[in-house]
Structure 1
């Protein structure tokens, strides 16, 4: 595991450099569903970190780049785990589906922590049975669609940032 002092100083805990760290066990110990959902996440997050570092030098951003940065910030927000507050598998699954399906993309940054908690709560209280059904299996397109729709129905409408 490679820790990055810059990430630590920015408040990211653990400050793991996902581009340099190699997990020898992690992927094999992971539930197949989590492995499937997080497969593209590492690449997206690594690209975000590189793009974020590049844009610190005042680069002009087009709309596509701005959206990539915003999505990366949402990935970071989802990956942050409060101390002594472990996440249950159904919460992880719901958050990864929400990320992948863009359910967090239009949420103002200031309201993102609240929305993440709402997703975790909905996963625990309303979606646990559905998620548990697919945790040890592959996530079919039908299951993914059903989970996305269940998340949309379980969550209150997003608040505006005012």
Structure 2
């Protein structure tokens, strides 16, 4: 019997038929932790662009089945991409020498069933732009809420006038 040390998702398992022996210390599976704080996003960035990315930089992650991006923060940048199996990247991608690995921490928990699925990642160009874009984002959201409230208020007043006639 094999027991997992965690409540994890099996990302890779050694395929073997009944009666096949496995050598001591041979990898038989790769487990991925799926608790809310454990799911990170890894982006592979071309070496020509990596100089523009730094820890704590703002990024935006869009899941394949969503239309709203999720804000994230760069945790670290690794220039020597590890060759260990990771969810979502085929072997040929891991062999590329011209990419760096960027780990992102999403501000909202990502669903565990999205582990291994491709995502779109956009990085804010600079900390100053990040601050400006954050203020613009908040301003546009406030205007949209105020506009929606004003529209509903006008429509309700119009309905009351129509009902009184």
Under a length normalisation based on structure 1, what TM-score does the superposition of the two structures give?
A: 0.24
Structure whose alpha-carbon radius of gyration is higher = 2
Greater helix proportion? 1
TM (normalized to structure 2)? Answer: 0.24
